[in-house]
Structure 1
């Protein structure tokens, strides 16, 4: 009985360890030691496709040499290069043995490009076929497509989670390289098309649209609240804001870096906004499925959709308006007429702005050991600091932790802890 229990615990520990290793792959680190793929690796990083790859537990990367990659990227925008890299990323595990033993000699597989919703019909699928002479070819699922790309060699295999294979050429089809460009797009028209007309009017009337345009070359992520977001119950009356505070609110809806949805999932700690270089919004822990939510410490908002992804600019829509604590503090402005649910006491109205609010400490004092003598030592006024961390939600113990490089390390550490716990349980049983 004891021997069977030991074998069961050992099997569980090995399984958990394998799962931890599988979730911890980082495609940039894997290819970093191969100079012949440096251009491919560079574009994986620039376009953030690396984050999409690292978030997948089962994936096959078809890698191009520097020569093949140079031919692909000439005269293409980063948005088009991004789609080409997505089409080279298969959402299944293929190693040389599997490639040469396809059922019926051919197989259709899904790629990252298909998951974007931009692929017309099945254009985000790739046809893998055993060709004459032992070659394996890859082509678009579009009927009549030629097998320009062929398997060359295996670079890395981690059964059955990650496979990195070299192929001779990119996989393309007519219409692949037609991504919208931020440079050629009217930003306000894009917001209006995405159902964010009120937000578009605000950024034009306040002049913040010029701030957005000036930041595009350095990297910019815009979050446009939808029409419903501006009609939400409990939203402060934005018409009562000063011009400066309105600008601050609108700049708070933008990050000073390129962050597509997959990259937002990997970020931790505070993320700077255009309103400040200090801690701004932070990803919410415990998000489910494909949802991505952000938090200010006062409120939170979910990424509803992506209306533009043109590296280094991406535009998402919010399902609510993020309220910066520096403007609204812990007591929002009076809500829209007829909604008194969040209206503060009139006598407290002067406490809206931090410069007029009493500063309260969020730092907890470490209790002093009790003395056996008669009376406790009185607390001195300087025992507790009188300032609080800027824009840091109370109790956020992870806000100052550095960003996880690939979004998988934390998962691996958690599973490793589970393995250690299993080992301890096994030791206690025997």
Structure 2
């Protein structure tokens, strides 16, 4: 009888229910959702790339780095940055950066920033000179010219020439390109206009002080001679007058 119970369908169903209730259930864990990407930060991009310590320091000192980040994260306007390496800054003439005013340092860094996003392919069709964040692109101010031949991108400012040696970052809004020379703008490092010539004046004696008007030697000598003769004449008149007065006094006595 017991054997028939265990082999009956009802018994098998009961055993199956008991087993399902007693065993723990398992679930498959889902992979976590990717964390949202943070805002674009030019300093972090340069820090990750390495060899841009000087540029990062200048970006912080002048707050140009903050301006780039703010503009990228609060507008739809793209940007292109040319990033000189530490070796590029070291190659500058000693004291170049220290000789610049705070405003000039800002302009120097802004000269490395274009207010538009450009790919290396677009460099082949752009119109020169390009306008930078430094402002005026006229030939005597802040002109930046870029030409592309095959895979080589040439950059010139009228003072120096260099090439784009590497693409550090690009996301469709910001492009950062490595350059091995600091881009020196014409308005700050080009030949200066000559000082205006002084207004024409009277001819001066050789060796005379610049503030002393020129004189004629012959005229000066004549004036001195006339003065001496005049003094002598006055002296003679005074002596003669005294003699006359003495004569009149004695006559009256």
Q: What is the TM-score when the length of structure 1 is the normalising length?
A: 0.33
Q: CA RMSD in A?
A: 2.6
Match of 2:115 in 1: 256
Post-superposition offset of 1:329: 2.3
Match of 1:385 in 2: none
Post-superposition offset of 1:297: 0.8
Post-superposition offset of 1:359: 7.8
Alignment partner for residue 206 of structure 1, among 32, 42, 62? 62
Post-superposition offset of 1:242: 0.4
Q: What is the TM-score when the length of structure 2 is the normalising length?
A: 0.55
Match of 1:292 in 2: 153
Alignment partner for residue 53 of structure 2, among 197, 202, 218? 197
Post-superposition offset of 1:317: 1.2
Q: Distance in 2 between matches of 1:261 and 1:222?
A: 12
| 1:147-173 deviation line (CA, Å, top 9, x unaligned) | xxxxxxxxxxxxxxxxxxxxxxxxxxx
Post-superposition offset of 1:311: 1.7
Match of 2:179 in 1: 318
CA separation of 1:271 and 1:234: change in aligned 2, threshold 3 A: same
The 3-state SS of whatever aligns with 2:98 is helix
The aligned length equals 154
Would the aligned equivalents of 1:215 and 1:256 in 2 still touch at CA under 8 Å? Answer: no
The 3-state SS of whatever aligns with 1:245 is helix
| Structure (1/2) with the larger strand percentage | 1
Post-superposition offset of 1:315: 1.1
Post-superposition offset of 1:304: 1.5
Post-superposition offset of 1:200: 0.6
Structure 1: segments with no counterpart, 5+ residues: 1-177, 331-350, 352-356, 361-430
Would the aligned equivalents of 2:115 and 2:132 in 1 still touch at CA under 8 Å? Answer: yes
Q: Distance in 1 between matches of 2:94 and 2:123?
A: 25
Structure 2: segments with no counterpart, 5+ residues: 1-33, 197-253
Match of 1:387 in 2: none
Q: Distance in 2 between matches of 1:359 and 1:290?
A: 44
Where relative contact order (Cα < 8 A, 6+ residues apart) is larger, the structure is 1
| 1:260-311 deviation line (CA, Å, top 9, x unaligned) | 2111122232110000053431114xx5441101111111221121121112
